[in-house]
Amino acid sequence: MSHARAWRALVLGAGYACGTPGTAEATAPTPAAATRPPEADSTLIRDEVATLGDAKQDPLLFDRIRSLFSGKTEVVPSDDQQLDQRAVLSPRRPDTVYVWIRVTERRAARVYLTLAESGQQARYLFREVRLDSGLDEIGSETLAEVAHSSARALWLHERLSSRETLVVALEREAAEAPQPAPAPASAPIVVAARPLPRADAILPAHEPAGKRRRPRTLRLGIGADGTGHSSGTEGFLTELGGFVGLEYRGQLMLRTAARYVVPAEFGVRPARVQLSGTAAEIRAGWLSADATVLRVRLEAGLGALLGRARATIVDDQPKAHALAAQSFYRGYALAAAGLEWPIGPAWIAASIDVRVPLATTSYEVAGQASASTSAALSPGGSLEVGIGFDPTSR
């Protein structure tokens, strides 16, 4: 690094001797510069440096510049956060060379230097520096050497730029700066709705790992299910079928199901009755939010059983005879609580169900007493397997 610094210093020195700034180029050549009085001290008293733009990204740039000056020169950082034309064109202290360094995104740097003169017009120097490899270590070293050599040259009146040159450069800086869009005279108040993330969106890395993913808006599910419940005199009835369901935001659910009643037999003396039929349900429910872990279900709904019963006389009683097949309709309300295990887009769910019959059913055999389903509650359970997808996805 010391060899590289020495070589660059040699190139810069040779450039000054020839009137050209080596790796840096002036925007406008300077007419013959005035010579500082020989009795004046050739040592720069004070140097104030401001780093702007991308130059702020190099925390070592100021230290590199300070290291190039002798201990007799006070090198201090500036508080300026932007390039102020009035501060550049009107320096305050006559014992200080003010330096503003701004690195642009085009791998170029602009260096503005000003020096106040007692009783005279301020003196200026403007330099443009190409940074072929950006603000890396070599670029930082080059920029520090340009700032150091330019400050000394301005202090000693060895190289100057005209005020017009500096004004043109500052106007170009102002033109390149992004301008805020003008606001309308009476702008309406607009509340922007926060867009919903896609169902397969991944949480940003800065979010907490335990934060749950926002569920998709809609999920359509289809599948097969089976249910069994105690039904008073009828015994234990089993139903097999399928369902179609819709989830909204992963928490609200609406499902309809249709099932076939597995034939069952039970006794109504002196006959034996065989029961079959179909059932239909509609359920609304709530689910816990995250569809990627075990979920809790709470459901309520209404259903109907469309049954058909056929009796057969089993006791030897000549006066008894079976009637023709009997059809009936029985409605019920239900409540269920269960768990759902997700397996990718599919799931398996089990629940405990309770039915409340809204009517009873009587089975009649001619000449004999009848029997009816008279249970106030019909407990049972259900099991289902389903798969879901987003109907709005393209």
pLDDT tens, position by position, 212-251? 444 567 889 999 999 999 988 888 999 999 999 998 877 8
Retrieve residue 353's tokens. 């169900």
Given a cut of 90, whether residue 352 has pLDDT beyond it is yes
Q: Average per-residue pLDDT in the chain? A: 78
Radius of gyration of the chain (CA): 45
Q: How many helices (H) and strands (E) does the chain have?
A: 5, 16
Domain ranges of the chain: 9-176, 218-389
Torsion of CA 12, 13, 14, 15, to 10 degrees: 50
Q: Assess contact for 330 and 237: CB atoms under 8 A.
A: no
Query: At residue 348, what is the residue type?
Result: I
For residue 147, give both structure tokens: 């700032």
| Residue 18, Cβ density class (10 Å: 0-12 exposed, 13-18 middle, ≥19 buried) | exposed
Q: In this model, does residue 22 exceed pLDDT 50?
A: no
| Domain 218-389 in CATH 2.40.160.20 | yes
Q: Going by C-beta distance under 8 Å and a sequence separation of 6 or more, which residues neighbour residue 390?
A: 199, 216, 217, 218, 219, 220
Q: Is 15 exposed, middle or buried (0-12, 13-18, 19+ CB in 10 A)?
A: middle
- The whole-model pTM stands at 0.45
